Every structure is written in C-alpha cells, then in structure tokens.
C-alpha cells in the first residue's frame, strides 16, 4: 500500500464494527456470526480490523508511540483478511493492507517483528526454512519410488511446512501426480522458503531478498507451471511476488491442477471414500488469493467531495479466491458426503495460525483453531479437510487439545484414497471413523 493512500485511509474508519462480523447477510446463527479471531479472543476494540486502523491514526497523530503495547495489538492478528471482506461489502477501506503497512512501520521503527518471529526469520536466512531444520533434510519426504523429470516444465514447489512438518501432504501430492502420469520436477536443494512468514511480519526488505533468490533460480529453469500444495506459498507467489517482480510462469495450487486432471480424465476418482467431510477454506487459497489488478482509469471530480473512478477500480473482495474447485473435487469422490460449516468461502473463519501468530502467540493460535474445530464438529462430519499444511498443523493441534473425535485429512490424502492408493495410516483412519 502506498504511503499516500495509507495516510488518507487511516482517517476514514467509521467505527461501525462490521469488520468484527462475517458479512451481515451471511449470518445464520448467533454463535457463528464473527469473523475476527483476534477480537474474539482479546475483546478490546483495538484488536479488530477497525481498531487497528484507529491505532494507525493515533500513531500518525503522535497520540501514541511505537511500543511493545502497540506491537502486541498489531501482531496478535493472523492477517486472515476477514475484516477486509466484511468492510468492503460497501466501504472502500483496506483494513488488511493497513495492518500489513503498520507492521512494516513497526519493523522500521525497530519494534517488529516479535522476538519469536525474528528467530524463525534468522532460521530462514541460515537454513532456508523457519523450522531451523537442516536444509539437506528438506527432501527426506520424497518416496524412493517417485520418479522426477529434470526436464519437466512443471515444478512442484513443496514449501517448508510440507517438507518438514506435513510430509504426508507432500507425499500424497507426489503420488497423485505420479499416478496421473504427470511428469514433474522439484527444486531439490534449490528450494528455499517462499518468504511468506517474513512478509507477513512486515520485514519487506528481507522478504524481497528471498523473493529474488527464488525467482532467480526458477527463471534459470524454463518453468511453465509451478504447483503448490501450500496455500501460503501459493498466495505469496501468485499475489505478492508480482508486486515486486514480474515472472512468466503459471501459478497453480494443486487443487486447481488436480481438478484439471480430473476433467481431462487422467486422474480418476474411482474408489469409494465413505466419509462425511467438511472443508475448511484456507485464507491464503481463498479470500487472500486474489491478484492485485492494475488500474489506469481516470478520477473524475463529479462535485466537491465526490470523485468517481472511471472505470471503477478493481476491488479485492475475496470473490476470486479458490472455493468451488476443492468442493468440486470432493463432490466427485464416490461415497463422500460434503457438509459445510456456517463460515465458509470468502467469510471462512481463520484456522488461527497465520502471519506469525503460531510462533509468537501459540495460545491464541490454538484458541482460534479450537473454535474452528468446534464449528466443524457441529456439521456432523467425521473428517475436516483443507488445502494448506499450516491450517493442517494448527487444526490438528486443536483436535488433539480438545480431545475431539474429528480427524484431519488434507484434500490430497482424500484424493489419494479415491484413486486407490491407501497407505496404512489412512486405512486406520477409515476404520476409526466408519
């Protein structure tokens, strides 16, 4: 967000509190009416999207100074973008952009990121992943029987979380691609963190270093298409990278690619998967995965105080996120029943892990995930699924901590079951829930 736009926008919050709720027309029950995990936990107005806009104004006016108290409020936010979707139903403010800009300013002022986030940034610098795991272990997940094609123009960018923490997702993805006869490659030792955990904390300068490192490598390899099983990496490459540097490859989440394969007939969902499943929309695959669009129209002053954009400026409202694709896949799986939570699609409730919250405020992350698991339980589903390893981790932590009977399976694992590849672990889950 440009500074001029930021300075104008922070003066315009109406304090209507719409940012705390899912879009008013989508409210179906009292219990599941809210969108903002931060104010749901911390209750003070400052912890809402609008509250942070006011905080930004108070900072600019010198009413408050950068401090640990400011940092606490600004960083106790998963940058899920729920506030922005609700605000932009009628308004033109950008709460999420303002929060991201606020973090940049705190980093510049020496008050950000949070110490725990700083540690993982240092780990990324040192060993190319935020988990401080050895770089040479990044591809331990790769099964021996998966054949890679070094000349393929399709690259599977695995991402740090799938590589080190959610290996089952990486394996499932590789097996699906292999099963569908897709020749693909991975970057191997040349895969580094996409930079998303850094960007979300406001350290834009460092983020650009990682961005350039990644794009330099990819540009050297004549890649047409990059597949991501991590929504975070996907969003970062698709939406954030183009703001800093152009590239010439197609960016797809694996659900998009799998859907293409299913439609072509090269991926056949033939096996019954008799499970009742509810799908959690990851923020970075859904409402945040909309590209910024250029606008070269004209601003026409119709009268004093009212100017009109001709044509209207494109507004990122969450409408262009990937919602129907995973649902289409799930609905094509024989025997599978898809049931929906109340808060879905562009007004999905965040899993609680994003933007460094899992590291800096683990109790907040868990609190949010538990809320989400409770919402999933109400659907009657036995399985909650999603398409992001970070959502997977946090939701599974919540399942365990809540002693929930729910199981978590990534959508790739469910697809794997339907194409007839059922590793032991999945057989066990089937036995437990059916």
CA 157, CA 191: separation in Å to the nearest integer? 7
Piece of 196-204, 273-281, 300-308, 354-362 that binds another protein (CB under 8 A): 300-308
DSSP E strand boundaries for 98-168: 154-157
CA 317, CA 346: separation in Å to the nearest integer? 8
SS3 253: strand
DSSP letter at 142 equals S
DSSP letter at 23 equals -
Is residue 305 part of the contact set for another protein (CB under 8 A)? yes
Instruction: Count residues near another protein (CB under 8 A).
Output: 67
Is residue 431 part of the contact set for another protein (CB under 8 A)? no
Length of the chain equals: 434
Is residue 402 part of the contact set for another protein (CB under 8 A)? no
Least gap, CB of 103 to another protein (angstroms): 15
Is residue 5 part of the contact set for another protein (CB under 8 A)? no
Question: Mask of contacts with another protein, 142-181, x by CB under 8 A?
Answer: ----------------------------------------
Piece of 54-62, 181-189, 198-206, 264-272 that binds another protein (CB under 8 A): 54-62
In order of 5, 6, 10, 295, 296, the CA distances from 309 in angstroms are 15, 18, 20, 10, 10
Least gap, CB of 133 to another protein (angstroms): 35
Q: Which of 89, 49, 33 is nearest to 341 (CA)?
A: 33
What is 378-432 written as a DSSP string? HTT-SEEEES-HHHHHHHHHHHHHTT-S-EEEEHHHHHHHHTT---HHHHHHHHH
Residue 11: partners with Cβ closer than 8 Å, 6 or more residues away: 57
Select 298 or 432, whichever has its Cβ closest to another protein: 298
**Of positions 253, 284, 345, 358, contacts another protein by CB under 8 A:** 345
Piece of 86-94, 151-159, 223-231, 241-249 that binds another protein (CB under 8 A): 86-94
CA 167, CA 163: separation in Å to the nearest integer? 5
Please, which of residues 31-50 interact with another protein by CB under 8 A? 33, 43-46
Least gap, CB of 408 to another protein (angstroms): 26
- Residue numbers at the binding site for another protein (CB under 8 A): 8, 11-18, 20-21, 23-30, 33, 43-46, 51, 54-55, 57-58, 61, 63-64, 67, 69-70, 72-73, 85-86, 88-92, 297-298, 300-306, 308-312, 317-321, 323, 345-347
């Amino acid at each position: 967000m440009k500074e001029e736009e930021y300075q104008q926008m922070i003066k315009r919050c109406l304090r209507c509190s719409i940012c705390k709720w899912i879009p008013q027309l989508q409210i179906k029950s009292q219990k599941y009416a809210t969108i903002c995990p931060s104010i749901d936990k911390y209750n003070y107005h400052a912890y809402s999207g609008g509250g942070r806009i006011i905080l930004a104004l108070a900072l600019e006016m010198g009413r408050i100074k950068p401090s640990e108290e400011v940092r606490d409020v600004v960083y106790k936010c998963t940058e899920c973008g729920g506030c922005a979707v609700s605000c932009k139903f009628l308004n033109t403010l950008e709460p999420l952009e303002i929060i991201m800009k606020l973090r940049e300013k705190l980093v510049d002022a020496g008050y950000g990121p949070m110490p725990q986030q700083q540690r993982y940034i240092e780990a990324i610098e040192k060993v190319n992943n935020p988990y401080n795991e050895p770089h040479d272990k990044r591809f331990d997940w790769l099964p021996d029987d998966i054949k890679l094609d070094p000349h393929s123009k399709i690259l599977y960018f695995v991402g740090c979380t799938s590589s080190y923490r959610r290996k089952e997702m990486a394996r499932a993805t590789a097996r699906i691609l292999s099963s569908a006869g897709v020749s693909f490659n991975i970057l191997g030792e040349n895969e580094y963190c996409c930079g998303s955990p850094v960007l979300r904390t406001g350290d834009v300068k460092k983020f650009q270093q990682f961005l350039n490192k990644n794009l330099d490598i990819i540009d050297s390899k004549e890649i047409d298409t990059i597949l991501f099983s991590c929504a975070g990496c996907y969003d970062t490459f698709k939406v954030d990278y183009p703001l800093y540097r152009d590239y010439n490859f197609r960016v797809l989440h694996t659900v998009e690619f799998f859907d293409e394969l299913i439609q072509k007939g090269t991926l056949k969902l033939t096996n019954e998967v008799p499970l009742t499943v509810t799908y959690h929309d990851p923020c970075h695959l859904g409402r945040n995965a909309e590209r910024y669009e250029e606008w070269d129209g004209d601003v026409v002053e119709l009268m004093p105080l009212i100017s009109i954009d001709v044509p209207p400026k494109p507004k990122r409202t969450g409408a262009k996120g990937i919602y129907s694709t995973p649902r289409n896949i799930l609905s094509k799986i024989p025997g599978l029943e898809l049931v929906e939570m109340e808060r879905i699609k562009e007004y999905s409730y965040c899993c609680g892990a994003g933007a460094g919250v899992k590291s800096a405020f683990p109790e907040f992350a868990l609190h949010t995930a538990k809320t989400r698991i409770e919402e999933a339980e109400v659907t009657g589903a036995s399985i909650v699924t999603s398409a992001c390893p970070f959502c997977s981790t946090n939701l599974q932590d919540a399942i365990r901590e809540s002693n929930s009977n729910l199981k978590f399976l990534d959508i790739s694992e469910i697809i794997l079951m339907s194409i007839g590849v059922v590793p032991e672990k999945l057989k066990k889950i089937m036995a437990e829930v059916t």
